[in-house]
Structure 1
Amino acid sequence: MAGRATIVGAAGFVGQRLHARLVAGGWDVWAPAKGDPALLARDLGVAFYCAGLTADYDSRPFDTVSAHASLVSEIARAGRFERLIYLSSTRLYDGQTKLEVGEDEPLVFDPADPRRIYDLSKALGENITICRTGGRGAVARLANVYDWSEGAPGFLSEWLVRARAERPLRLESSPHIRRDYVHLDDVVAALLAMAEGPPAGIVNLASGELAANADIAEVFRSQGWEVAFTGDANPPPPPNARIDRLRALGVSPRRVEDVVRGYLEGLKA
């Protein structure tokens, strides 16, 4: 189902790949520049809200609130969209003490923790999208998204990019750190499924399992790379995000070990 789409944050990591996939699929895609007043005045079709701050949210708290909640609030108020899909994060589950969580779990935040401005602002954006759009809003909670394109953000992305030129690899992390990693292409496939299917509410865009740095390093070693870590921290793992709703959309994300193995085999070819 191709139609009209708007991507807010089309210059970002997810937005760029999503834009390319939509265009390739025959969609009429508009990628407004930051601050374009037409965003609130024209019909947006399916609006993907990909704007946000990640690494620098703590040093830019007011920009974080604006990016995560203020602008999406104005878009919801204008109401000129067929569907609004808001990109959020599974980091919102970090306050949970459960081993596994689903999308219906109440979220837990400490408002006195200044670093929770990321979570609180994302949660507000989610609330606006779900509750103030007349049933036309959906939320995609993204796990740790990775890729090996130049400039791809995040620990694993940087690790994969470095692997093209470095053997051995020395990584400033611990082998015990565990995260849910989901590849960028699987995220984009899920966003398209959310756009084309029935309203989906909140959906975890994750792999459904936690992988330790040591597990990924073992894949590297099996392909001929040496990997060493500078640290030995062993913090409690985050809750594991269930992906039943994602699978119900017809999307089965790949295990990070399998994707990394295929990537490394391609580098050796």
Structure 2
Amino acid sequence: MGAAATVVGAAGFVGARLAARLRAEQREVWAPAKGDPELFERDLGTVFYCAGLTADYDARPFDTVAAHASLLSELIRADRFERLVYCSSTRLYDGQRKAEVHEAEPLVFDPADPRRVYDLSKALGENLTLARTGGRGAVARLSNVYDGQDGAPGFLSEWLIKARTSRDITLDSSPNIARDYIHLDDTAAALIAIGDRGQGVYNVAAGRLSTNADIARVFESAGWRVGFTGAANPPPPPNASAARLADLGVVARPVEDVVADYLEGLKA
């Protein structure tokens, strides 16, 4: 039996896959329910903090702060863990005006922008993890995580799910939108590696941007038709370097390769 782990947010998209992966590696996993007071009373081993809000953060700003920082603060103050991995986001780089960014970049936020509650609360969570755990904390900044499972959130996940039932797909987006994508399984592998031997901040990312048009070409090569309702051409987001993650032995598979394999499986 491997070292004990606690997954906070194990009912969520990332947390559920992470807990399953840890159990597959014969590790003891505790997945506390939301609000379980034992979180502050029992020995937790390595904590993977996956709790948070994504799509509805703007409508629920106070819940966002509670999930990203308040609960974390109480967990750190109780001090019942050996290691702590905090799931943050590469969205924190959005204030940068650079083509490529890395983990040591100073972050830039506008505190007057109400939509920055997500970024600022995640940044506070990062600060608590890095500065208040006595060197036992590490931060994982996740890029756009996707998967083809039922109910998987996010633009690309929904695109993959649509491909199961239709060979003719119209997407409410532009072919010019670029994102860094990392598959859910690669994300889980990265988090475990960070928990085992990581220090500091890591971009859990592929380290490269792919446009909707790049991915659409993979669909079209496999026999699907893809159309877009928009034509916006915004500047691409900063590309988050994945070099530190590679130093831990984790390299995310290119999204085009994963999508090609997924579509091949649908045709089989």
Q: With structure 2 as the length reference, what TM-score do the two structures score?
A: 0.99
Deviations 1:95-153 (CA, angstroms, capped at 9, x unpaired):
00010000000000000100000000000000000000000000000000000000000
Partner in structure 2 of residue 247 of structure 1: 246
Q: C-alpha separation between the residues in 2 aligned to 1:37 and 1:164?
A: 42
Instruction: Please report how far the alpha carbon of residue 219 of structure 1 lies from its aligned counterpart in structure 2 after TM superposition.
Output: 0.4
Deviations 1:200-230 (CA, angstroms, capped at 9, x unpaired):
2100000000000000000000000000000
Equivalent residues in 2 for 1:76-115, closer than 5 Å:
76-115=76-115
Deviations 1:67-112 (CA, angstroms, capped at 9, x unpaired):
0000001111111101000000000000000100000000000001
**Which of structure 1's runs of 4+ aligned residues deviate more than 2 A?**
none
Q: Which runs of 5+ in 2 are unaligned?
A: none
* Alignment partner of 1:164 is 2:164: yes
Q: C-alpha separation between the residues in 2 aligned to 1:201 and 1:141?
A: 11
Deviations 1:12-35 (CA, angstroms, capped at 9, x unpaired):
000110111111111111111111
Deviations 1:157-215 (CA, angstroms, capped at 9, x unpaired):
00000000012000000000000000000000111111222x42100000000000000
Partner in structure 1 of residue 206 of structure 2: 207
Equivalent residues in 2 for 1:58-207, closer than 5 Å:
58-197=58-197, 199-207=198-206
Q: With structure 1 as the length reference, what TM-score do the two structures score?
A: 0.99
Q: For 1:217, give the aligned amino acid.
A: A
| 2:81 partner SS | coil
Q: Which runs of 5+ in 1 are unaligned?
A: none
Q: C-alpha separation between the residues in 2 aligned to 1:209 and 1:4?
A: 34
| 2:203 partner SS | strand
Partner in structure 1 of residue 256 of structure 2: 257
Q: C-alpha separation between the residues in 1 aligned to 2:33 and 2:258?
A: 33
| 1:33 partner SS | coil
Partner in structure 1 of residue 20 of structure 2: 20
Partner in structure 1 of residue 228 of structure 2: 229
Q: C-alpha separation between the residues in 1 aligned to 2:225 and 2:90?
A: 31
Q: For 2:38, give the aligned amino acid.
A: A
Q: C-alpha separation between the residues in 1 aligned to 2:196 and 2:133?
A: 18
Q: C-alpha separation between the residues in 2 aligned to 1:204 and 1:239?
A: 12
C-alpha root-mean-square deviation of aligned residues, in Å? 0.8
